[in-house]
Every structure is written in C-alpha cells, then in structure tokens.
Amino acid sequence: MNYYKILLLIFIFSFSTNNFVYSKMLTLKNQGALLGRVSSKDLKQPFSIIIKLNGDIPLATYVTARFQNNQPKQRLSNGIWVNWNEKSESLQNNGFVPNADDNLIFKILDENINSSFLPLIITISYLDHKNLKSGYYIVDQ
C-alpha cells in the first residue's frame, strides 16, 4: 500500500472551520486524555477540535497521528503530514493561537480519510509555561 496517499488525502489546511468536534468542557491534560471517538462516516470536512484553555497560554501547538500502519506522523503548520520519530523535541509547532474566548482551535484535516488508513489516533497538544498538555481522538469506521 502506498502510504504517501495520505499526503494526497490531506489538503494544505484552510481557514474555513465548518465542522468542529466541540465541547466547552473539552480540555487537555498533563497525562493525556481520551477526547472521544469519531466515526469516519460522520466526519465532515474540515475536521477541527476546539479546546478550552482555562487560562493556559500556549507557547507551541502540535498535532500527531498514528495510522493503521503504526507509523507516526506529525502535522506541519502548512497542513502537510510527515513522518515523525516520536521524540518530543522533534515536534514542529503548528502555530495555532487562542481566540478571545480562551479557546484554541486545532485544524486537523481538510479532506475525507480513506478507510484503509483507519483506525487513526489523532493526538493534539500544546506546551504552556509549565507542561505539555495533550489529548487524543480515535477515528474509526
């Protein structure tokens, strides 16, 4: 299977944010947290996640994914997914910034995901002055 197809499936991110997985209580944790499960059939595009910051000030934001082939990828700030060595020091800042409502919007995907790549675990995280806080979504069929 050509795993580079994922690069064709994911657009360079757009600024349109029509489809959110949203909850005012959704926050990231120091130890990571399961944020939920999403069916690929219900996943409309673009796919974004809104996180309540509760006063945290993110210095950097990150998005990583583990596809069915168990190869970790990270999302770059331009929306392209690249291989990742799973070392936190090699993470690339996505540059997402908080809005006036103390929320942080993570733009994840702009196109439908091919079912051959599922299940998919998407981890979002941000670095504040003290900790790396994270959470993950499971996308399945």
pTM for this model (two decimals): 0.78
Domain range holding 9?
A: 5-140
**Which amino acid appears at position 43 of this protein?**
L
DSSP-derived 3-state class of residue 125: strand
Q: How sure is the predictor about 70, in pLDDT bands with cuts at 50, 70 and 90?
A: confident
The answer to whether residue 115 scores a pLDDT higher than 50 is yes
Could you tell me the two tokens for 35? 């944020």
The answer to whether residue 82 scores a pLDDT higher than 90 is yes
Q: Domain count for the chain, please give it.
A: 1
pLDDT for res 114 = 61
Lowest mean pLDDT among 31-45, 52-66, 75-89, 127-141: 31-45
Could you report the per-residue pLDDT of 5-52, keeping only the tens digit for each? 332 233 222 223 344 444 446 899 998 889 988 887 776 667 888 999
Question: CA angle at residue 82 from 33 to 43, to 5 degrees?
Answer: 55
What is the rounded CA–CA span in Å between residue 64 and residue 14?
Answer: 18
Which domain CATH number covers 33? 2.60.40
Query: Residues 109, 45: contact at Cβ < 8 Å?
Result: yes
Could you tell me the two tokens for 8? 């064709």
The answer to whether residue 116 scores a pLDDT higher than 80 is no
